[in-house]
Amino acid sequence: MSTQKKDFTLKVHVLSRMSDPRNKRACHIDVFVKVTDMPTDISTEKNIRPFLTDGEGGAKPSGIYKKMLADLLDNSLDFHNNNRGIRIIAESASVKGESIVLRGASVVDGGHTYMVIKEALKQKTVLEQFVKITIVQGLSNKKTKEMVVRNNTNVQVKEKSISNYTGRFAFLKTNLNTASYGSKISYVENESSKVVPLNVLDIVAMMNLFNIKRFDGETSPAGVYSHKAAALKHYNAQLDTFKKMSPIIKDILFLSDYLNELANVKLKNKTENKKIKPLLGIKKRGTHTFHFTGGEGKIRLNGGVLYPMLASFRCLVEFRKGEYRWKRGIGREKLKKLAEQRFDAMIKTSANLNKPSHDVGRDISHWNALYASMDAVTARMKL
């Protein structure tokens, strides 16, 4: 059964219409709408970022959000001049007298402005403000997506959100959504960490550690730890390579948290050691949740310590049958045993640097040493 698309009527105070110079079927319409006349249920599904209002998902509104709301509620200010406005894509836009009727409408830019307006209307305050609306009608789906990405890039939307919008995380979602933690992964900015505590940037960074096409025994992935944004750029540039890592992704994530679980077993009586304490994140109240293993603990290895340890296991990866796989004889149980066997030595090597964990993570020679040791140990196993 087909679903009829809803029409939205905007009462406009000023209207100008321009034909698209490169697309005869498209046009751009600029209008000023009184804030109190704004519909509150226009779709935002085509907007790259989700929006957080006060109290939603346990998140606090950002400073920018609060300032925008304060400006809107201050009738002494001209909100329509001080705000970039809202851009709406519509399948059709028909002018009827002093109104314009939109069909198939969705906010594609200025979503936070729209959310602020909705919040202001809830407060039932006297509002004498206007907002500028740009309506774009007649674009193809391809051109709509292009416009959304380019407009949001101009206002510094994080590449994480753009990558999600353009479908570059689709294979990751397919791979991970069936896991117990699949629904806890954030793929866009502005999501509440209480609702989705796992960040896809961390997952992409850990995948980079195992990209043997780029980081073999001669080249260290040390830069991944301190430059996660660069790791995402490389992921986007070499997406086909990362898709070929599908067979080992879940094991990589499991291994990262299994090392954290080992820290709770092996270091629980060493948390006051002057060399070891700087390597750890220790919770005095509550526990860390290790989503990839389903465990928890008071101790978590800081990223600068965890990443070089985790990356040393890339010596166990090979390219076989068109994909990146563990070498024959290696599976999750073997990985766990290796982690148990090598943990003490890796922590000792890290602690002997006598550096804060952040500096440990930047020490290329340290990364190389851990990799060489793991490679030597596994070579004797004759895999």
Is 35 in contact with 42 (CB distance < 8 Å)? no
Residues 244 and 369 in one domain: yes
147-178 b/e with 16+ CB inside 10 Å = b? bbbeebeeeebbbbbbbbbeebbeebeebbee
Rounded to the nearest angstrom, the gap between the alpha carbon of residue 229 and the centroid of all alpha carbons in its chain is: 10
What is the spatial distance between Cα 281 and Cα 276, in angstroms, rounded to a whole number?
A: 11
Q: Is residue 2 part of a domain?
A: no
DSSP 124-186: T-----EEEEEEEES--HHHHHHHHHHHHHHTT--HHHHHHHTTTTHHHHHHHTTSTTGGGEE
Do 59 and 189 share a structural domain? Answer: no
Instruction: Region of 55 please: left (phi>0), alpha (psi -120 to 50) or beta.
Output: left
Residue 248 lies in a domain: yes
Q: What is the largest CA-CA distance in the chain?
A: 83
Q: Which of 164, 172, 161, 173 has its CA nearest to residue 207?
A: 172
226 & 298 share domain: yes
Q: At what angle do helices 249-266 and 200-209 cross, to 10 degrees?
A: 90
Q: Are 131 and 38 in contact (CB under 8 A)?
A: yes
d(CA 198, CA 183): 9
What pLDDT is recorded for position 329?
A: 92
Both 48 and 186 in a single domain?
A: no
Q: How many residues does the chain have?
A: 383
Q: How far apart are the first and last CA of the chain?
A: 57
Do both 140 and 172 map to the same domain? Answer: no
Asked if residue 188 and residue 126 are part of one domain, the reply reads no
What is the distance between the alpha carbons of residues 367 and 308, in angstroms, rounded to a whole number? 5
Q: Which residues pair with 288 in a beta bridge?
A: 297
Last residue of a domain, one of 105, 140, 156: 156
Contact 5, 90 (CB under 8 A): no
333 and 224 both lie in a single domain: yes
Q: Which of 117, 108, 96, 129 shows the shortest CA–CA distance to 49?
A: 108
Give the residue among 245, 242, 354, 253 at the shortest CA–CA distance from 306. 253
Q: Which of 365, 372, 368, 362 is nearest to 224 (CA)?
A: 362
Same domain, 86 and 194: no
Closest CA to 71 of 122, 124, 116: 116
Does residue 335 share a domain with residue 191?
yes
From 133, 156, 179, give the residue that closes a domain. 156
Report DSSP letters for 294-354, one per residue.
TEEESEEE-HHHHHHHHHGGGGGEEEETTEEEEPTT--HHHHHHHHHHHHHHHHHHHHTT-
Q: Give this prediction's pTM.
A: 0.68
Distance CA 324, CA 346 (A): 25
Beta strand 130-137 with 86-90 is parallel
Residues of the chain with pLDDT below 70 are 1-4, 47-63, 149-157, 382-383
274 belongs to a structural domain = yes
Flag whether 1 is in a domain.
Answer: no
Predicted local distance difference test score (pLDDT) of residue 257: 98
Domains of the chain: total: 2
The pLDDT tens digits for 272-309 are 889 999 899 888 888 999 999 999 999 999 999 999 99
* Residue 6 pLDDT: 87
Same domain, 130 and 219: no
Instruction: Tell me the residue range of the domain where 27 lies.
Output: 7-156
